Structure 1
Amino acid sequence: MDIVFLVGRILLAAIFAFSALGHFTQADGMAQYAAAKGVPAAKAGVLASGVIAVLAALSLVLGVWIDLGALLLVVFLVPVSVLMHAFWKETDPQVKQTELISFNKNLAIIGGALILFYLVNTTQQVALGLTGPLFGAF
Protein backbone atom coordinates (compact mmCIF):
# COMPACT_ATOMS: atom_id res chain seq x y z
CA MET A 1 0.00 0.00 0.00
CA ASP A 2 2.98 2.31 0.40
CA ILE A 3 3.27 2.59 -3.37
CA VAL A 4 -0.38 3.66 -3.63
CA PHE A 5 0.29 6.48 -1.18
CA LEU A 6 3.34 7.56 -3.18
CA VAL A 7 1.48 7.45 -6.53
CA GLY A 8 -1.37 9.47 -5.02
CA ARG A 9 1.07 12.08 -3.75
CA ILE A 10 2.77 12.29 -7.15
CA LEU A 11 -0.53 12.67 -9.01
CA LEU A 12 -1.71 15.38 -6.63
CA ALA A 13 1.63 17.16 -6.84
CA ALA A 14 1.68 17.04 -10.65
CA ILE A 15 -1.20 19.51 -10.88
CA PHE A 16 0.71 22.03 -8.81
CA ALA A 17 4.09 21.40 -10.42
CA PHE A 18 2.66 22.12 -13.87
CA SER A 19 0.77 25.11 -12.50
CA ALA A 20 3.96 26.49 -10.96
CA LEU A 21 5.75 26.08 -14.27
CA GLY A 22 3.08 28.24 -15.90
CA HIS A 23 3.33 30.80 -13.12
CA PHE A 24 7.00 31.32 -13.96
CA THR A 25 7.03 30.88 -17.74
CA GLN A 26 3.82 32.80 -18.42
CA ALA A 27 3.86 35.22 -15.51
CA ASP A 28 2.95 38.30 -17.54
CA GLY A 29 -0.09 36.74 -19.18
CA MET A 30 -1.25 35.19 -15.92
CA ALA A 31 -0.78 38.52 -14.16
CA GLN A 32 -2.92 40.27 -16.78
CA TYR A 33 -5.66 37.68 -16.31
CA ALA A 34 -5.43 37.97 -12.51
CA ALA A 35 -5.56 41.76 -12.72
CA ALA A 36 -8.67 41.50 -14.89
CA LYS A 37 -10.22 39.40 -12.11
CA GLY A 38 -9.44 42.21 -9.64
CA VAL A 39 -6.42 40.66 -7.94
CA PRO A 40 -4.24 43.38 -6.38
CA ALA A 41 -0.49 43.23 -7.14
CA ALA A 42 -1.25 40.56 -9.70
CA LYS A 43 2.31 39.92 -10.90
CA ALA A 44 3.63 39.51 -7.36
CA GLY A 45 0.67 37.26 -6.58
CA VAL A 46 1.34 35.08 -9.60
CA LEU A 47 5.01 34.68 -8.69
CA ALA A 48 4.32 34.11 -4.99
CA SER A 49 1.65 31.53 -5.71
CA GLY A 50 4.05 29.83 -8.12
CA VAL A 51 6.60 29.50 -5.32
CA ILE A 52 3.97 28.09 -2.97
CA ALA A 53 2.81 25.61 -5.62
CA VAL A 54 6.32 24.34 -6.37
CA LEU A 55 7.17 23.99 -2.67
CA ALA A 56 3.96 22.06 -2.05
CA ALA A 57 4.59 19.80 -5.05
CA LEU A 58 8.16 19.05 -3.98
CA SER A 59 7.03 18.33 -0.43
CA LEU A 60 4.48 15.78 -1.62
CA VAL A 61 6.69 14.07 -4.19
CA LEU A 62 9.77 13.83 -1.99
CA GLY A 63 7.88 13.10 1.20
CA VAL A 64 9.47 15.97 3.07
CA TRP A 65 7.11 17.39 5.69
CA ILE A 66 4.04 16.29 3.77
CA ASP A 67 1.83 17.95 6.37
CA LEU A 68 3.40 21.31 5.55
CA GLY A 69 3.03 20.59 1.82
CA ALA A 70 -0.66 19.83 2.36
CA LEU A 71 -1.15 23.13 4.19
CA LEU A 72 0.67 24.95 1.40
CA LEU A 73 -1.88 23.53 -1.02
CA VAL A 74 -4.63 25.03 1.13
CA VAL A 75 -2.78 28.36 1.27
CA PHE A 76 -2.50 28.27 -2.53
CA LEU A 77 -6.07 27.20 -3.25
CA VAL A 78 -8.17 29.30 -0.88
CA PRO A 79 -7.27 32.70 -2.37
CA VAL A 80 -7.21 31.29 -5.90
CA SER A 81 -10.70 29.89 -5.42
CA VAL A 82 -12.14 33.09 -3.99
CA LEU A 83 -10.36 35.56 -6.26
CA MET A 84 -10.08 33.70 -9.55
CA HIS A 85 -13.20 31.52 -9.54
CA ALA A 86 -15.80 33.85 -8.04
CA PHE A 87 -18.76 32.24 -9.80
CA TRP A 88 -21.18 34.31 -7.71
CA LYS A 89 -20.02 37.47 -9.51
CA GLU A 90 -20.66 36.12 -13.02
CA THR A 91 -23.79 36.92 -14.99
CA ASP A 92 -23.12 34.90 -18.14
CA PRO A 93 -24.49 31.38 -17.45
CA GLN A 94 -21.69 29.59 -19.30
CA VAL A 95 -18.93 31.56 -17.54
CA LYS A 96 -20.72 31.11 -14.22
CA GLN A 97 -20.86 27.34 -14.74
CA THR A 98 -17.18 27.14 -15.71
CA GLU A 99 -16.14 29.12 -12.63
CA LEU A 100 -18.40 27.01 -10.40
CA ILE A 101 -16.76 23.83 -11.70
CA SER A 102 -13.28 25.25 -11.03
CA PHE A 103 -14.32 26.48 -7.59
CA ASN A 104 -15.78 23.07 -6.68
CA LYS A 105 -12.68 21.26 -7.99
CA ASN A 106 -10.55 23.44 -5.72
CA LEU A 107 -12.82 22.71 -2.75
CA ALA A 108 -12.34 19.00 -3.34
CA ILE A 109 -8.55 19.40 -3.50
CA ILE A 110 -8.61 21.52 -0.32
CA GLY A 111 -10.58 18.74 1.38
CA GLY A 112 -8.09 16.14 0.18
CA ALA A 113 -5.16 18.25 1.37
CA LEU A 114 -6.73 18.60 4.82
CA ILE A 115 -7.31 14.84 4.95
CA LEU A 116 -3.67 14.31 3.99
CA PHE A 117 -2.57 16.72 6.72
CA TYR A 118 -4.70 14.84 9.26
CA LEU A 119 -3.56 11.40 8.11
CA VAL A 120 0.14 12.19 8.21
CA ASN A 121 -0.11 13.80 11.63
CA THR A 122 -2.26 11.14 13.27
CA THR A 123 -0.24 8.17 11.99
CA GLN A 124 3.12 9.94 12.37
CA GLN A 125 4.26 7.95 9.34
CA VAL A 126 5.07 8.88 5.77
CA ALA A 127 5.30 5.87 3.49
CA LEU A 128 8.20 6.19 1.05
CA GLY A 129 9.03 9.69 2.26
CA LEU A 130 12.22 11.34 3.40
CA THR A 131 10.89 12.81 6.65
CA GLY A 132 8.03 12.47 9.06
CA PRO A 133 5.50 15.23 9.66
CA LEU A 134 6.66 18.67 10.69
CA PHE A 135 3.87 19.54 13.07
CA GLY A 136 3.49 16.30 15.04
CA ALA A 137 0.31 14.74 16.34
CA PHE A 138 -2.69 16.96 16.94
Structure 2
Amino acid sequence: MRMLFNNEGFVVNLAEEIDIDEYALLIGGTIVQMVYDRPSDRHQALMTGEWEVPKDVIYAENILTENQWRDSQMPLAQQNVTAIEYGEEGIPGTAQQWQKYWLALRKWTADNPDFPKKESRPIKPQ
Protein backbone atom coordinates (compact mmCIF):
# COMPACT_ATOMS: atom_id res chain seq x y z
CA MET A 1 0.00 0.00 0.00
CA ARG A 2 1.29 3.42 -0.97
CA MET A 3 0.31 6.58 0.85
CA LEU A 4 0.64 10.17 -0.35
CA PHE A 5 1.77 12.83 2.11
CA ASN A 6 1.54 16.54 1.38
CA ASN A 7 4.43 18.90 2.09
CA GLU A 8 3.08 19.44 5.63
CA GLY A 9 3.30 15.73 6.43
CA PHE A 10 -0.42 14.97 6.28
CA VAL A 11 -1.89 12.03 4.38
CA VAL A 12 -3.74 12.99 1.22
CA ASN A 13 -6.72 10.76 0.44
CA LEU A 14 -7.39 10.35 -3.25
CA ALA A 15 -10.29 9.01 -5.23
CA GLU A 16 -9.45 5.72 -6.94
CA GLU A 17 -9.45 7.27 -10.40
CA ILE A 18 -6.71 9.79 -9.55
CA ASP A 19 -3.17 8.70 -10.31
CA ILE A 20 -1.16 8.95 -7.09
CA ASP A 21 2.15 9.55 -8.91
CA GLU A 22 0.79 12.40 -11.02
CA TYR A 23 -0.95 14.02 -8.07
CA ALA A 24 2.21 13.77 -5.94
CA LEU A 25 4.09 15.71 -8.63
CA LEU A 26 1.29 18.25 -8.86
CA ILE A 27 1.26 19.06 -5.14
CA GLY A 28 4.90 18.35 -4.37
CA GLY A 29 3.93 15.46 -2.13
CA THR A 30 5.82 12.38 -1.02
CA ILE A 31 4.71 8.84 -1.74
CA VAL A 32 5.54 6.32 0.99
CA GLN A 33 5.35 2.55 0.66
CA MET A 34 3.75 1.27 3.86
CA VAL A 35 5.59 -1.60 5.52
CA TYR A 36 2.40 -3.61 6.10
CA ASP A 37 -1.37 -3.22 5.74
CA ARG A 38 -3.23 -0.89 8.06
CA PRO A 39 -3.89 -2.84 11.29
CA SER A 40 -7.16 -1.06 12.12
CA ASP A 41 -9.17 2.09 11.46
CA ARG A 42 -7.59 3.57 14.60
CA HIS A 43 -4.13 3.57 12.99
CA GLN A 44 -2.73 6.49 11.02
CA ALA A 45 0.10 6.36 8.52
CA LEU A 46 3.52 7.76 9.33
CA MET A 47 6.04 8.95 6.76
CA THR A 48 8.34 6.15 7.97
CA GLY A 49 5.96 3.64 6.40
CA GLU A 50 4.76 2.48 9.81
CA TRP A 51 1.34 2.87 11.43
CA GLU A 52 0.47 4.31 14.83
CA VAL A 53 -2.57 4.96 16.93
CA PRO A 54 -2.50 8.70 17.71
CA LYS A 55 -2.27 9.70 21.35
CA ASP A 56 -5.52 11.66 21.17
CA VAL A 57 -7.35 8.53 19.97
CA ILE A 58 -5.88 6.49 22.83
CA TYR A 59 -6.77 9.26 25.31
CA ALA A 60 -10.37 9.41 24.06
CA GLU A 61 -10.66 5.61 24.31
CA ASN A 62 -9.29 5.72 27.86
CA ILE A 63 -11.83 8.37 28.83
CA LEU A 64 -14.66 6.22 27.48
CA THR A 65 -13.33 3.15 29.31
CA GLU A 66 -12.95 4.97 32.61
CA ASN A 67 -16.39 6.58 32.39
CA GLN A 68 -17.95 3.17 31.75
CA TRP A 69 -15.98 1.62 34.60
CA ARG A 70 -16.99 4.39 37.03
CA ASP A 71 -20.63 4.14 35.98
CA SER A 72 -20.57 0.38 36.65
CA GLN A 73 -18.95 0.79 40.09
CA MET A 74 -21.17 3.52 41.56
CA PRO A 75 -24.34 1.39 41.89
CA LEU A 76 -22.27 -1.46 43.37
CA ALA A 77 -20.91 0.88 46.05
CA GLN A 78 -24.40 2.15 46.90
CA GLN A 79 -25.83 -1.37 47.02
CA ASN A 80 -23.05 -2.51 49.35
CA VAL A 81 -23.61 0.40 51.72
CA THR A 82 -27.30 -0.46 51.93
CA ALA A 83 -26.65 -4.18 52.29
CA ILE A 84 -24.14 -3.68 55.12
CA GLU A 85 -26.47 -1.27 56.90
CA TYR A 86 -29.26 -3.87 56.69
CA GLY A 87 -27.00 -6.50 58.24
CA GLU A 88 -25.76 -8.37 55.17
CA GLU A 89 -22.65 -10.38 55.98
CA GLY A 90 -19.78 -11.40 53.74
CA ILE A 91 -19.32 -8.04 52.05
CA PRO A 92 -15.73 -6.83 52.34
CA GLY A 93 -15.18 -3.46 54.00
CA THR A 94 -17.46 -1.27 56.03
CA ALA A 95 -20.37 0.93 55.01
CA GLN A 96 -18.17 3.97 55.60
CA GLN A 97 -15.43 2.56 53.34
CA TRP A 98 -17.98 1.95 50.57
CA GLN A 99 -19.33 5.48 51.01
CA LYS A 100 -15.82 6.90 50.66
CA TYR A 101 -15.31 4.73 47.58
CA TRP A 102 -18.53 6.06 46.06
CA LEU A 103 -17.44 9.65 46.75
CA ALA A 104 -14.06 8.95 45.15
CA LEU A 105 -15.86 7.51 42.13
CA ARG A 106 -17.90 10.71 41.81
CA LYS A 107 -14.63 12.61 41.54
CA TRP A 108 -13.18 10.17 38.96
CA THR A 109 -13.81 12.56 36.06
CA ALA A 110 -11.84 14.75 33.68
CA ASP A 111 -11.47 17.27 36.54
CA ASN A 112 -9.23 14.77 38.37
CA PRO A 113 -5.58 15.28 37.37
CA ASP A 114 -4.98 11.51 37.30
CA PHE A 115 -7.98 10.78 35.05
CA PRO A 116 -8.09 8.63 32.85
CA LYS A 117 -5.07 6.68 34.08
CA LYS A 118 -6.40 3.23 34.92
CA GLU A 119 -3.71 2.68 37.55
CA SER A 120 -5.01 5.71 39.49
CA ARG A 121 -8.61 4.52 39.80
CA PRO A 122 -10.25 4.65 43.21
CA ILE A 123 -9.75 1.34 45.02
CA LYS A 124 -12.82 -0.46 46.33
CA PRO A 125 -12.88 -1.84 49.86
CA GLN A 126 -11.42 -5.31 50.32
TM-score by length of 2: 0.40
Q: Which has the larger radius of gyration?
A: 2
Between Structure 1 and Structure 2, the one with more helix by share is 1
Between Structure 1 and Structure 2, the one with more strand by share is 2
Query: Which of structures 1 and 2 has the larger relative contact order (alpha carbons within 8 angstroms, sep 6+)?
Result: 1
